[in-house]
């Protein structure tokens, strides 16, 4: 179909790659709750629709939907321990996915693409807080160099598509995300879903809760529904090629120990917390500044951390059978 002019098609067709994941499901929820607009058609993809590491399958899904806008979330994703095991896979899969999606978007004349970096990709040796100008200022932490370099290449590609073809391809840099529909797998997932799952099992089995590492590292956590609302704003209002950090403030940074205690309170766990220091701490901190975001959205309200943790814990307990784990 020339230029995607399908009979009765809405004027804006927004393709969300990685739409079945933590962030994608949050965007789907806020769109359903009214954040969408009449002229918009939203399409949420999973890997069943196309393996985006494959160029032909990527082209086919773009041919099928003829998107005008793309929110590009699809990636090989994982917590510290999965990254430490599979740095090569994180590099290769994500480089292929990103090149296929961005090039298909270019070839299909997509108006705007928003891709996803992460605050864990910043230089390991750096001053704090990190900001958007510092992405390429030095090597990332050794634990996730594969993922980090693959993500950094998105920023390079965005600049190249802008310079050579005038494309509006940009990116956001979320901090650690958590919420409903996360990956609660204890080995491969991130810290909050991992601790929620472990607390659930400790409660059921009457055992202690093993927090990995010292509990001293520090993180800024953003609730997936807040990130989703910010994604919708970026889609509509953000016009820079340069990426923008989407994170709670520096003052909202908590230690892993404090995060574990929030989960314990939310789950009503009465057992013992044990810190397994034989496990890696990973990056001690990656404190990011959200001052660029605040210049645009000074009044945006983040969900209080304890409330977001409680909502996530309640969701997991109610959906533990079908949750990813």
* 8 Å CB contact between 224 and 231: no
Q: Report if residue 74 touches ligand NAP, rule: CB under 6 A.
A: yes
Q: At what angle do helices 305-318 and 191-205 cross, to 10 degrees?
A: 50
Q: Is 239 exposed, middle or buried (0-12, 13-18, 19+ CB in 10 A)?
A: exposed
CA distance 188 to 168: 34
> Interface with ligand NAP by CB under 6 A: which range of 50-58, 128-136, 196-204, 208-216?
50-58
Q: Which of 61, 191, 230, 267 binds ligand GFB (CB under 6 A)?
A: 191
Q: Report if residue 194 touches ligand NAP, rule: CB under 6 A.
A: no
Q: Mapping DSSP to helix (H, G, I), strand (E, B) and coil, where does residue 170 land?
A: strand
Which residue, judged by CB position, is nearest to ligand NAP in the bound state?
Answer: 21
CA distance 162 to 320: 44
Q: Report if residue 190 touches ligand GFB, rule: CB under 6 A.
A: yes
Of 72, 67, 62, 77, which Cα lies nearest the Cα of 24? 72
Tokens found for residue 170? 């940009």
Active-site residue, 86 included: no
Backbone φ, ψ for residue 116 (5° rounding): -125, 115
- 256, interface contact from ligand GFB, ligand NAP, none, CB < 5-8 Å by kind: ligand GFB
Q: Mapping DSSP to helix (H, G, I), strand (E, B) and coil, where does residue 196 land?
A: helix
> Interface with ligand NAP by CB under 6 A: which range of 30-38, 161-169, 173-181, 197-205?
173-181
Q: Which of 29, 37, 47, 280 binds ligand NAP (CB under 6 A)?
A: 47
Q: Which of 65, 86, 147, 200 is catalytic?
A: 147
Active site residues: 147
Residue numbers at the binding site for ligand GFB (CB under 6 A): 79-81, 83, 118, 120, 143-144, 147, 176, 190-191, 194-195, 198, 211-213, 217, 219, 256, 279-283
Residue numbers at the binding site for ligand NAP (CB under 6 A): 18-24, 46-48, 51-53, 73-77, 97, 116, 118, 174, 176-177, 183, 190
């Amino acid at each position: 179909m020339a230029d995607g002019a399908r009979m009765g098609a809405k004027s804006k067709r927004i393709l969300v790659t990685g739409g079945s994941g933590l962030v994608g499901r949050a965007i789907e929820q806020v769109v359903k709750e009214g954040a969408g607009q009449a002229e918009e058609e939203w399409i949420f993809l999973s890997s069943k629709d196309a393996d985006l590491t494959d160029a032909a399958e990527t082209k086919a899904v773009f041919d099928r939907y003829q998107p005008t806008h793309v929110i590009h979330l699809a990636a090989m994703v994982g917590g510290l321990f999965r990254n430490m095991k599979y740095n090569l896979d994180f590099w290769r899969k994500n480089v292929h996915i990103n090149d296929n999606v961005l090039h298909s978007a270019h070839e299909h004349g997509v108006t705007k693409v928003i891709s996803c970096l992460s605050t864990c990709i910043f230089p390991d040796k750096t001053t704090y807080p990190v900001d958007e100008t510092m992405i390429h200022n030095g090597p990332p932490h050794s634990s996730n160099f594969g993922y980090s370099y693959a993500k950094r290449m998105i920023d390079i590609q965005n600049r190249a598509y802008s310079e050579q073809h005038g494309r509006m391809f940009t990116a956001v840099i979320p901090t650690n995300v958590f919420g409903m529909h996360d990956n609660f797998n204890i080995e491969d997932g991130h810290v909050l879903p991992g601790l929620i799952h472990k607390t659930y099992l400790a409660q059921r089995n009457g055992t202690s809760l093993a927090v990995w590492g010292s509990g001293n590292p520090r993180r800024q956590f953003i609730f997936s529904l807040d990130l989703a609302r910010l994604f919708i704003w970026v889609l509509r209002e953000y016009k820079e090629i340069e990426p923008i950090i989407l994170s709670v403030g520096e003052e909202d940074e908590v230690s892993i120990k404090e995060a574990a205690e929030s989960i314990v309170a939310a789950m009503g766990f009465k057992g013992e917390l044990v810190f397994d220091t034989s496990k890696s701490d990973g990056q001690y901190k990656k404190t990011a500044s959200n001052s660029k975001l605040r210049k645009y959205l000074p009044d945006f309200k983040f969900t209080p951390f304890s409330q977001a943790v409680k909502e996530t814990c309640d969701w997991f307990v109610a959906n533990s059978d079908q949750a990813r784990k």
